[in-house]
Structure 1
Amino acid sequence: MWYAFIDAQRRLTRAFAGALLAESGGSAPSRSHWFTPENATDAFSQWLLRSACAFEQPPPFAIGPVAGDGRWIAVEESVVASLPAGALRRFRRNLTTPCADPKLPVLLCAPLAGHHAVMLRETVETLLEERDVFLTDWADARDVPREAGPLSLDDYVLAVEHFAGAACALGSPVHAVAICQAAVPALAAAALSAAAQPRPIASVSLLGGPIDTRLNPTVMNRFANTHTLDWFRDHAIDIVPPPCRGAGRRVYPGFVQQAALLAVHPERHLHLESDYWSCWFAGDMAGAARALRSLNEYAAVLDMAECYFLDIVRVVFQDHLLPRNLWSVAGRHVDSAALRDMPLCTIEGDCDDITGAQQCHCAHALCGAARPASTRIRRRLTVTQCNHYELFTGPRWRDAVFPALRAFWSEAEDIASNGRDERGTTTLAGVSGSRSAA
């Protein structure tokens, strides 16, 4: 297979790019002298690294102060829980004075679909305007020793459940938000933890998640459903070479994912590259730096363990175990009806060609009807002129998706604060009904 050759090429590329950057001095360019050999060398080196998937580490989040509550708020980043599958990263708003109206934090479940979680930096920054954020930062399988286990889909469901409990233990329940593929393990984890005390998840929001890929299947859905697991095993899986910590582990490599993304969605990569180079040639070096940051985050791909990758193909795209109520995780049946009283919000984009229409909204039917004595909040939103990535980045995310989530969370918290019984126990249920936007 190709992994050993590609990895050697990566290391050579890193050494070459590192030498070029050292020679250019690595100084930040300014508009007054932007068109210099040193700046051109730096731009070429960055292009070389991302084109060859040669980043040794993903770009840092490095989130600076965010605007919120009419002021600038510093952000503290830390890792509060770790598992072989990944880490729970906490972004805490460092308020100089206590907030008069404290809000529950958000647990942002990043998709494990070939990108590092840093691709969601803009999403995290926006959420931090109002709330603290916990983020599932999944590990690159090439860096996880084989003795740590197979890293199956079950492992990631249990990791989300564990991370939700860890976040809750730090002070309060969380609003779970799952993006794209993360919707499946997040919904399963919420169902498994529904009976836990204290209840760690206050609400569930799913953004473009492939809950039932039988509905309006996309090209990607049909491809996954018309190729056998043996075909994927023979054509998409490779072995991590030494000296990587995960040497010997069978993985779906990040460089294969990058090639697949370029083949299926070349327009996104070209848009990001165009933004960067147009700023660079215009002498807008501040704009070029911002565009480069986004471009490098999108180019930061990772390896997925073979077990997880094939589990996703089988469970989500071929056997449809979640919508058929046939899925068990580590011997525990995933009963989505356990979420019948859980506040639930689903959001889709009407131009999404990765997750088909209604594949995410169908979660409402799967979670069943509320008990007669309970109330609940159910919201569904379809954002116009919105593709898959715009559900969590760019103007559609900031102007349509985030305001809808903010209103949903506020309503869930209002209902919860007014739904305490005589013992002071909070019932995290909402008002029945749904809201649609076309």
Structure 2
Amino acid sequence: MLYAWLEAQREFVRACQPWTGAAQRADATARPAGWPTWGPMTRAADAVPMPPPFAIAAVVIDGAAVAIDERIVDDTPFCALRKFARRLDGDAAARPAVFLCTPLAGHHAVMLRETVETLLATRDVYVTDWRNARDVPPDAGAFGLDDYVRTLERFIAGANANGLHVMAVCQATVPALAAAALLAARGVHVASVALLGGPIDTRAHPTLVDRFALEHDLDWFRRAAIDVVPPPYAGAGRRVYPGFVQHAAIVVAHPQRRVALESRYWAAWMTGDFVGAARCLREMNEYGAVLDMTERYFLDTIRVIFHERLLADGRWSIGRRRVTPQRLTRTALCTIEGGRDDISGAGQTHAAHQLCDALPDAARERITAPDCDHYDLFLGPHWRQSIYPALEAFWTRAEAQHARPPRRTAL
């Protein structure tokens, strides 16, 4: 199996590290201070790296550094809910938090570190940190898309859902909208839901990703994409869609992003900007840290979102509970698309407004950022200078609307 073969290669690289380390130390005296070492190169050749920590020690608010406390506030075998809290008092500390639903699509949650850091300027942030399936023992049970929705439902409810702003990126938009709808059916209404670049209805302007999924049945994906986790990982024996396969697909589909990261890294070194080089290396590590997804979850995603489009057609049930977005009556909805997004096509995210047809027009917002590709929606200058300010303004309006008592309708 490919997974086992690759793991053998990684073990070989690890075994060679004492020699490469010795050569690196011998070479250190011949290089200027701060010059790049072999370390990043040998780490790049090593196995799927462990994700770097978020390590957000502080953010600048009104010109002053404010310390950030990070802790895990809820936990399941497949996901940890992290809370990033600002050490503030008064009204600033009381502002409703953002619940960031990170995608389970190959990358670790830490790839959205910049997103979290930006959000912390105005609010505390909850983050779903999905675990690598290779590290989850088989006796922890199976994990499918329905379990993903149930996990979000539990986490959001535990994070004081009333008044909370739910924000979902890419693949996470589908389960996040489902979780919000299920909570609303229980009488628990989040203040708002913001969906960024997600496949709510993949019939709208299908992309290469959508067409590829439609052209292959589940048996093909099972044969071509699923492998078995080898020893020594805790999840040995679990059937997964390996992260290294997804990462390769992402790099092939979007080589410009990888090239841009590499180019900035080496340009910083060549100009002596070692602080900038370290920052670029961190971004490369965040982008390159990938995770395995369980077979059931991966195939569920293909079937529910791309093949059968159950959410878009109103036919999706989680257990015995039907997902009914029309239950969202006190929750503001914002959908954001990128004009150059080639992962989620035009109209796919905005389709959520047709599903949430019980919302008044005043509680809706559609934003299309013409110059943004998929990643620009939540990372980089477009995110910081355009998308985030629009979201903050939307959240402020949503809070005023959410505070009003619900209308009473005569029967």
Same fold flag (TM > 0.5) = yes
The aligned counterpart of 1:297 is: 286
In 1, the alpha carbon distance for the partners of 2:210 and 2:237 equals 30
The aligned counterpart of 2:79 is: 86
Supply the AA of the counterpart residue of 1:2. L
Task: Answer yes or no: is the 8 Å Cα contact 1:165–1:200 preserved in 2.
Answer: no
Q: How does 1:291-330 map to 2 (within 5 A)?
A: 291-330=280-319
Task: Answer yes or no: is the 8 Å Cα contact 1:84–1:148 preserved in 2.
Answer: yes
RMSD: 2.2
The aligned counterpart of 2:122 is: 130
Which one of the candidate residues 185, 206, 213 is aligned to 2:175?
185
Q: CA deviation at 1:84?
A: 1.8
Which one of the candidate residues 354, 361, 372 is aligned to 1:386?
372
Q: Which runs of 4+ in 1 moved over 6 A?
A: none
The aligned counterpart of 1:432 is: none
The aligned counterpart of 2:250 is: 261
Greater alpha carbon shift after TM alignment, 57-66 vs 207-216: 57-66
Q: CA deviation at 1:8?
A: 2.1
Q: Pick closer, same or farther for the CA change 1:239–1:290 going to 2, 3 Å.
A: same
Supply the AA of the counterpart residue of 1:9. Q
In 2, the alpha carbon distance for the partners of 1:257 and 1:71 equals 40
Q: CA deviation at 1:13?
A: 2.6
Q: How does 1:199-238 map to 2 (within 5 A)?
A: 199=188, 201-238=190-227
Residue deviations 1:11-59 (CA, integer Å, cap 9, x gap):
333443476457646xx99x96233xxx33234234334xx52x1x211
TM-score, scaled to structure 1: 0.88
The percent identity for this pair of structures is 53
Task: Answer yes or no: is the 8 Å Cα contact 1:342–1:376 preserved in 2.
Answer: no
Q: CA deviation at 1:6?
A: 1.0
TM-score, scaled to structure 2: 0.93
Task: Answer yes or no: is the 8 Å Cα contact 2:204–2:348 preserved in 1.
Answer: yes
Q: CA deviation at 1:280?
A: 1.3
The aligned counterpart of 1:8 is: 8
Greater alpha carbon shift after TM alignment, 344-353 vs 252-261: 252-261
Which one of the candidate residues 408, 415, 419 is aligned to 2:394?
408
Task: Answer yes or no: is the 8 Å Cα contact 1:17–1:48 preserved in 2.
Answer: no
Greater alpha carbon shift after TM alignment, 393-402 vs 61-70: 61-70
In 2, the alpha carbon distance for the partners of 1:253 and 1:324 equals 30
Task: Answer yes or no: is the 8 Å Cα contact 1:209–1:360 preserved in 2.
Answer: yes
1:193 match: secondary structure:
helix
Task: Answer yes or no: is the 8 Å Cα contact 1:88–1:135 preserved in 2.
Answer: yes
Which one of the candidate residues 101, 114, 135 is aligned to 1:109?
101
Residue deviations 1:216-236 (CA, integer Å, cap 9, x gap):
000110000010100000000
Task: Answer yes or no: is the 8 Å Cα contact 1:167–1:173 preserved in 2.
Answer: no
The aligned counterpart of 1:175 is: 165
Task: Answer yes or no: is the 8 Å Cα contact 2:191–2:330 preserved in 1.
Answer: no
Task: Answer yes or no: is the 8 Å Cα contact 2:54–2:113 preserved in 1.
Answer: yes
The aligned counterpart of 2:45 is: 48
- Residue ranges of structure 2 left out of the alignment (5+ in a row): none
2:326 match: secondary structure:
helix
Q: CA deviation at 1:101?
A: 7.2
Residue deviations 1:123-173 (CA, integer Å, cap 9, x gap):
00000000000000001111111121211000000000011011117xx64
Structure with bigger RCO (C-alpha 8 Å, 6+ apart): 2
Aligned length: 405
1:275 match: secondary structure:
helix
In 2, the alpha carbon distance for the partners of 1:403 and 1:289 equals 28
Which one of the candidate residues 149, 159, 179 is aligned to 1:157?
149
1:81 match: secondary structure:
strand
Q: CA deviation at 1:412?
A: 0.9
1:75 match: secondary structure:
strand
